Chains A and B, each alone.
Chain A
Amino acid sequence: EPEVTQTPSHQVTQMGQEVILRCVPISNHLYFYWYRQILGQKVEFLVSFYNNEISEKSEIFDDQFSVERPDGSNFTLKIRSTKLEDSAMYFCASIRQGRTDTQYFGPGTRLTVL
């Protein structure tokens, strides 16, 4: 069964450093998402991406965040200058086509900012 994959599974970084989280969505999917989940809290939407551009973003997704689909398979989330409060699980998700298609999530990357 096809699945969303994410690397690394755990990323430890120093405050102020840049990190890039990587995702490989399901191959025939067209819509891509990043969510985050701070420990013990609910999953929060960050950004959605379609047709090589951001289609929606939350207030969390400020100028420190960016997304990119550098090739036909990868979807990345970059945090330019990490803060302590960026520590969280980051989930990538994708859907095939329509809004009510099932949104499949990856296993997540745990980001720890020291």
Chain B
Amino acid sequence: GESVGLHLPTLSVQEGDNSIINCAYSNSASDYFIWYKQESGKGPQFIIDIRSNMDKRQGQRVTVLLNKTVKHLSLQIAATQPGDSAVYFCAENRAAGNKLTFGGGTRVLVKP
């Protein structure tokens, strides 16, 4: 069946260092991927997305990498700040549907 999963449930990072969050997906039909950030008590907040015809996309301090060969997605956060502490979810959208399938989430803890 289709699934989107995360390798690391918790990531502790020193303030100022870079963070890398990984995600694996199994549905080859997925053609659109999104990273969301969720702070405690809030809804998922869009960070960055990437379509399957790309392998890299950059935003402000964030970069998403897509490796379709191994069905792997990663989110890189440069110069991690205390405000980056949250749970990060990857989500995928299949070509045939319009729903998002979320991964299990990785908690990022930024140490001062």
Q: A residues within 8 A CB of B34?
A: 102-103
**A28 beta carbon closer than 8 Å to chain B:** no
Q: What is the chain B residue whose CB lies nearest that of A91?
A: B43
The number of chain B residues with a CB under 8 A from chain A is 23
Count of chain A to chain B residue pairs whose CB atoms are closer than 8 Å in the complex: 57
| Residue from B45, B49, B97, B104 within 8 A of A105 (CB atoms) | B45
- A50, B97: Cα distance in complex, Å: 13
Q: When the two chains form their complex, are residues B103 and A42 in contact, meaning their CB atoms are under 8 A apart?
A: yes
Give Cα A4–Cα B100 distance, bound, in whole angstroms: 17
Query: Which residues of B, 70-112, contact A by the 8 Å Cβ criterion?
Result: 89, 91, 93, 97-105
Q: Quick check: is A14 within 8 A (CB to CB) of the other chain? A: no
Known A-B contacts A44-B102, A108-B43; A100 and B97 likewise in contact (beta carbons under 8 Å): no
Is A48 within 8 A of B99, CB to CB?
yes
| B interface with A by C-beta (< 8 Å) | 32, 34, 36, 41-46, 49, 51, 89, 91, 93, 97-105
Closest 5 pairs (CB-CB, A-B): A105-B43, A45-B99, A43-B102, A105-B44, A42-B102
